[in-house]
């Protein structure tokens, strides 16, 4: 009897709790009848408050976010669109903007960016031109905002250069080679230059090609040229001379960076975001490492180009609430949030951050990098075959490091043919 009563009471309580939960959920749904889904390319890009302030300012918008790796985002996005659960905003590589736009995956958001300019003039004015270039197609249509962009700089240990009697800046590739070889000849474990040899996209090598005066036609590097051959020879010579570690063909970016950070390499071409880790091991203020623009060829007549690539937040065609997407983009663009990411990870295109005291204290090299990053040119990419072009360049990078005795002219011709084949 007692058991039966307890069971009935239990059932009644469960029903009451269920009704209460449903009512509560319904109430919440009424309060948040707008929703927004954002995909970040890395955990590090997520603002620390995880949209708390945004929710406070826009209580009717329910924001959800996920981390979908930049490496997988294109395929995941297409699958998600197909299944009807695609995000409203997605973070991608700049190189893929036009390809996704032509595929009808991302939305021309130019009109909402204009609205953002009107409604939030202060935030808008803080953003560098690269914020829009990095989120645009070749026709100028804007699909979102590129809040984070990086470039690759020649980074070196000044203390080791001093040991071999070389005073920076190095400026040209022949001086870099000379310094790398001299340091390599010092003996011990320290090599002259740390390189990638596999497993990562050629985003370190293409900027050097452009810096050396290399030309891109419709996003395809013209490597079957004098500049292309010199570019290939540069890497081959680092390997041949022993200035780079013989295991380099199996090195990815992690090993390349760790060799420099761990003091086993004197130079590397690297982005500013890695300086955070370098600084932890070797405080910048101690003056034992520094950086400069990527080198040019000796006697180069073409202007030095410091190219960069961004990780824009793009609005997808799944978005039905354009205002909510615009508000989220504006929120992410604010200096407070951009600063958080810039301090721990990638540099931001929000120029207000560059003069922020907290930022400058956290990144003592920021003032020195500023003149270099202020003139960044977006790395040109093929409108529809960017990934395929990158794949060929990656294969070439692996070859010129592993097969360092191959004829550079033959390599240039072979890979130009491959590039032309995939791009046409």
Partner 1 sequence: MTGPSSKKSGAGRSRTGPVRDWSGRFGRAALIGIPLAVLVVWTLTPIVWAVLASLKEPLEIYESNALLPANPTLAAYRKVLAMDGFGRWLFNSALVTVVATFVPLTISVLAAYGFARYAFRFRHVLLLLYLVPRIIPRVSLIVPLNSLMSDLGLINTYWVLFITYSASAIPLATWILVGFFASVPKEIEEAATIDGANMWNRLRRVMIPIAWPGVVTAGVLCVREAWNEFAFVLALVNESTMRTLPYQLYVLKDAMGVQDYAVYNAFTVLTILPLLLVYLLLERRVVDSIVSGSVK
Residue 172's DSSP bridge partners are 296
Least spacing, CB of residue 65 vs partner 1, in Å: 9
CA distance readout (Å), 175 to 30, 38, 236, 333, 404: 66, 46, 15, 40, 20
Nearest-approach distance from CB 11 to partner 1, in angstroms: 26
| Cβ distance to partner 1 smaller for residue 9 or 79 | 79
Of the pair 145, 261, the CB lying nearest partner 1 is at 261
CA 87, CA 80: separation in Å to the nearest integer?
A: 8
On whether the CB atoms of residues 187 and 264 are closer than 8 A, the answer is: no
The smaller minimum CB distance to partner 1, of residues 59 and 254, is found at: 254
- Closest approach of partner 1 to the CB of residue 32, in Å: 18
Q: Which is nearer to partner 1, 220 or 342 (CB)?
A: 342
Partner residues linked to 144 by β-bridges = 314
Identity of the residue, 26 or 79, whose beta carbon is nearer to partner 1 in the bound complex: 79
Q: In whole angstroms, how close is the CB of 56 to partner 1 at the nearest point?
A: 21
Determine how many CB atoms are found less than 10 A away from the CB of residue 115: 15
C-alpha 214: how far from its chain's center? 22
- Would you tell me which residues interact with partner 1 (CB under 8 A)? 42, 44, 66-72, 76, 79-80, 82-85, 199-200, 252-255, 257-259, 261-262, 264, 273-274, 277, 281, 345-346
Question: Of 292, 290, 258, whose CA–CA distance to 277 is shortest?
Answer: 258
Closer residue to partner 1, CB minimum distance, 87 or 228? 87
| Closest approach of partner 1 to the CB of residue 10, in Å | 26
As a 3-state breakdown, the chain gives helix, strand, coil percent values, each rounded to 5, of 50, 15, 35
Task: Please state the closest distance from residue 257 (CB atom) to partner 1, in A.
Answer: 5
Residue 68 or residue 389: which is nearer to partner 1 going by CB?
68
Distance of closest approach, residue 152 Cβ to partner 1, in angstroms: 12
CA-closest candidate to residue 394, choices 245, 199, 233: 199
DSSP string, 396-409: HHHHHHHSTTS-HH
In angstroms, give the least distance from the CB of 39 to partner 1: 8
CA dist., res. 23 & res. 402, Å (int): 65
The residues facing 296 across adjacent strands are 172
In the complex, least distance from residue 149 CB atom to partner 1, rounded to whole angstroms? 13
Distance of CA 338 to the CA centre of its chain: 14
CB of 19 to partner 1, least distance (A): 25
CB nearer to partner 1: give 349 or 416.
349
Nearer to partner 1, 65 or 124 (CB): 65
Give φ, ψ of 268 to 5 degrees: -160, 155
> How distant is the alpha carbon of residue 317 from its chain centre?
23
**Residue 378: partners with Cβ closer than 8 Å, 6 or more residues away:** 94, 130, 133, 134, 307, 308, 309, 310
Phi, psi (degrees; rounded to nearest 5) at 93: -85, 145
If the CB atoms of residues 21 and 79 are measured against partner 1, the closer one turns out to be 79
The pairing of strands 144-145 and 313-315 is: antiparallel
Strands 89-91 and 34-40, sheet pairing = parallel
Cβ atoms 244, 191 nearer than 8 A: yes
């Amino acid at each position: 009897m007692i058991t039966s009563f307890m069971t009935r009471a239990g059932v009644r309580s469960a029903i009451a709790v269920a009704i209460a939960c449903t009512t509560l959920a319904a109430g919440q749904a009424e309060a948040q009848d707008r929703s927004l889904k954002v995909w970040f390319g890395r955990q590090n890009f997520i603002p620390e408050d995880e949209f708390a302030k945004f929710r406070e300012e826009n209580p009717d918008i329910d924001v959800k976010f996920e981390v979908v790796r930049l490496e997988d985002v294109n395929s995941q996005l297409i699958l998600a669109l197909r299944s009807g659960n695609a995000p409203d905003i997605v973070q991608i590589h700049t190189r893929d903007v036009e390809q996704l736009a032509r595929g009808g995956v991302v939305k021309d958001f130019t009109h909402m960016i204009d609205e953002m300019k009107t409604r939030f003039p202060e935030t808008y004015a803080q953003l560098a031109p690269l914020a829009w270039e990095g989120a645009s197609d070749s026709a100028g249509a804007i699909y979102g905002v590129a809040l984070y962009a990086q470039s690759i700089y020649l980074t070196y240990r000044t203390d080791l250069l001093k040991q071999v009697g070389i005073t920076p800046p190095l400026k040209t590739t022949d001086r870099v080679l000379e310094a790398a070889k001299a340091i390599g000849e010092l003996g011990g474990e320290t090599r002259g230059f740390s390189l990638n040899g596999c497993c990562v996209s050629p985003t370190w090598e293409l900027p050097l090609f452009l810096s050396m005066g290399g030309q891109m036609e419709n996003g395809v590097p013209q490597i079957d040229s004098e500049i292309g051959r010199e570019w290939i020879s540069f890497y081959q010579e680092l390997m041949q001379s022993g200035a780079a570690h013989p295991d380099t063909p199996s090195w990815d970016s992690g090993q390349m960076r760790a060799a420099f950070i761990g003091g086993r390499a004197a130079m590397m071409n690297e982005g500013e975001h890695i300086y955070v880790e370098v600084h932890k091991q070797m405080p910048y203020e101690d003056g034992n490492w520094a950086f400069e623009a990527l080198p040019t060829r000796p006697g180069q007549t073409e202007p030095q180009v410091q190219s960069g690539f961004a990780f824009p937040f793009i609005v997808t065609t799944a978005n039905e609430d354009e205002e909510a997407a615009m508000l989220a983009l504006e929120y992410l663009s604010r200096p407070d949030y951009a600063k958080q990411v810039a301090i721990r990870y990638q540099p931001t295109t929000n120029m207000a951050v560059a003069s922020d005291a907290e930022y400058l204290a956290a990144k003592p090299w920021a003032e020195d990098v500023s003149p270099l990053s202020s003139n960044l040119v977006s790395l040109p990419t093929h409108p529809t075959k960017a990934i395929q072009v990158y794949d060929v360049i990656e294969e070439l990078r692996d070859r010129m490091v592993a097969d360092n005795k191959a004829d550079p002219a033959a390599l240039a011709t072979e890979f130009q043919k491959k590039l032309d084949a995939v791009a046409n």
